[in-house]
Structure 1
Amino acid sequence: MNRTVESQGAVPEPTGVFPMEIDPQSKPVGANDMLDGTASVAIVLLAAGKASRMGEGGAHKLLAEFDGIPLVRRSALAALGADAATVVAVTGHRRAEIETALAGLDIHIAENPDYATGIASSLVTGFAALGVHEADGVLVMLADMPGVTHADLNALIAAFRRSSGDVIVRAVSNGKRGNPVILPRSLGPAVTRLVGDTGARHLIETSGLPVIDVDIGDAAHLDVDTPQDVIAAGGVLRG
């Protein structure tokens, strides 16, 4: 079931906790880079997982607050602040609370009833909600990464637009692969065939397409899977 929650005002710019760094071997990302390409990019925000490492009956990591904002909303604001055509948030586990945290934002909500089977079902749901032929690239973003900012996302999008379009763009830190990633339209059919806990990494490793790495610093690796992770990253546990 897809729903659109319309914006009720200006979208505040999310604050970042890490500076963005660009791979020195890559072309610097400047203001004009956003205008260089015409490739359209959509964002799929994955927010459906069970958060099992938070403990049985424990607080949900995506509802933890960073700078007073639930993490899932903070991630959605970063996505909305990027130069993307549309944003789809995939929900599942504790869907009602997650969608309440996203209320008032101009995003599409796609419910994944099969979220318990693994991340593949959320990717399939997100791509289906977009329509694989409607964007040249899809930026896949995990909702539990508090350090990722709209500037980081724009760096990835700019790299995709500078390319031929049929490439994968991946966030890295000091050469170590991380998230988010942009998958080109040509991988849409392969996404629909994913099952279980097989995610974008499998496609990156098996597609045979060129991979462009963009260094965004520590944000590429910082996700919060446990209560300790949330606290260490500066979050406050809530419901």
Structure 2
Amino acid sequence: MLAAGMSERMGVPKMLLKYKGKSLVRNVIQASLSSELDGAVVVINSEIDGLLQEAMVPGVSKVFLNSCPGDGLSSSVKAGLCVLPAEAEAVIFLLGDQPLITEDEINRLIDEYAKGEYPYIYQSMYHGEIGHPVLFPRKMFSHLLNVRGDKGGRAVMKQYPRSVKYVEMDKEYPFDIDTMKDYKNLLRKEVS
């Protein structure tokens, strides 16, 4: 899980904002722990007070402190890949600012991957809109490690478009919480 952003548009450490009684990042961690994933690695911004405590919960395999979050998304992607167990066949990237992601979306990607069919990258789709989570098999790790700056897996998917299979999730897009307006929209969903 990638949770090392700078929260520049939000103006406050968004990963710690509350939704359904838990921080945004804790909601996503809970979804991953409730899924069929074999483990959970969380990459966090080392400069955000309290984030380490939010990420260190029973069931999380590793928490990596990204001391260079200003280097962009690629620094978190690489950090997460480097601390995966050697036997990991694949990785699913989740975003810590998407608390509407559930174990259902994660499990659907795992089920598609388990079929063992080509293509190799499985990307979530929500009524035609692409998003997270995204599953990359080990075969693509070297390509992810070559990404630079504020780019993540999207750069690899652009490079290998025929290796991407879109997996329809049959639900509304689980938007990112990037601004205070996004957060207020999320809170409205909580009470509706």
Same-fold call, TM cutoff 0.5 = yes
Amino acid at match of 1:48: A
What secondary structure does 1:233 align onto?
A: helix
CA contact under 8 A between 2:42 and 2:55: conserved in structure 1?
Answer: no
Is the helix fraction higher in 1 or 2?
Answer: 2
Instruction: Give the paired residue count.
Output: 186
Aligned to 1:140: 93
Match of 1:101 among 32, 54, 59: 54
Aligned to 1:21: none
In the alignment, is residue 163 of structure 1 matched against residue 116 of structure 2? Answer: yes
- Partners of 1:219 and 1:128 lie apart in 2 by 30
Determine what percentage of the aligned residue pairs are the same residue: 27
Larger Rg: 1
* More deviation, 173-182/159-168: 159-168
In the alignment, is residue 121 of structure 1 matched against residue 79 of structure 2? Answer: no
CA contact under 8 A between 1:46 and 1:143: conserved in structure 2?
Answer: yes
TM-score, with length taken from structure 2: 0.90
Aligned to 2:168: 215
Amino acid at match of 1:119: L
Which of the pair has the greater relative contact order for Cα pairs under 8 Å at 6+ separation?
1
- Partners of 1:90 and 1:196 lie apart in 2 by 16
CA apart distance, 1:165? 6.8
Aligned to 1:65: 18
Decide whether aligned partners of structure 1 residues 194 and 90 sit closer, same or farther in structure 2, where only a CA change above 3 A counts: same
CA contact under 8 A between 2:119 and 2:164: conserved in structure 1?
Answer: no
Amino acid at match of 2:84: L
Amino acid at match of 1:120: S
- Partners of 1:184 and 1:208 lie apart in 2 by 15
Counterpart mapping for 1:33-72 below 5 A: 45-55=1-11, 59-72=12-25
- Partners of 2:27 and 2:88 lie apart in 1 by 24
CA apart distance, 1:146? 1.6
CA apart distance, 1:93? 5.0
Aligned to 2:31: 78
- Partners of 1:165 and 1:141 lie apart in 2 by 22
Aligned to 1:13: none
Match of 1:204 among 153, 157, 162: 157
Gaps of 5+ in 2: none
Decide whether aligned partners of structure 1 residues 211 and 166 sit closer, same or farther in structure 2, where only a CA change above 3 A counts: closer
In the alignment, is residue 150 of structure 1 matched against residue 103 of structure 2? Answer: yes
CA contact under 8 A between 2:17 and 2:24: conserved in structure 1?
Answer: yes
Decide whether aligned partners of structure 1 residues 212 and 103 sit closer, same or farther in structure 2, where only a CA change above 3 A counts: same
